[in-house]
Amino acid sequence: MSISMSQQETLTSSLKKKNRAKWVAGFAKSQILSHLQHLTSGSLKLKDGDEVHNFGQDAAEAVINATIQVHDARFYGEIAFGGSIG
């Protein structure tokens, strides 16, 4: 089986887009987690797969507690770049 030049270009372009999307999501995630480190009021728990991140006050001491469960890595890009999350 041989792949034509246009098929190869399509595959290469598709891989580049996936890698770019993965990089953007990773960058957005790191920026969001960094900003959340500055949370001082309330308690926020962010669950993303096996990762759990806690921000703000200790949950037992906080007046307001919230948990976010991330189901899709695109969440970070949507938050970082102003897209819709719902």
| Residues with Cβ within 8 Å of residue 77, at least 6 apart in sequence | 21, 24, 25, 28, 83
Domain boundaries, position 73: 5-80
Is 86 within the bounds of a domain? Answer: no
Q: What is the pLDDT of residue 29?
A: 94
Work out the average pLDDT over 25-37: 94
Is 19 within the bounds of a domain? Answer: yes
Is 23 within the bounds of a domain? Answer: yes
C-beta separation of 85 from 75 below 8 A: yes
Separation CA 45–CA 25 (nearest Å): 19
Q: Which residue has the higher pLDDT, 10 or 48?
A: 48
Name the domain count of the chain: 1
| Residues with Cβ within 8 Å of residue 15, at least 6 apart in sequence | none
Residue 32 has phi, psi (to 5 degrees) of -65, -45
**pTM exceeds 0.85:** no
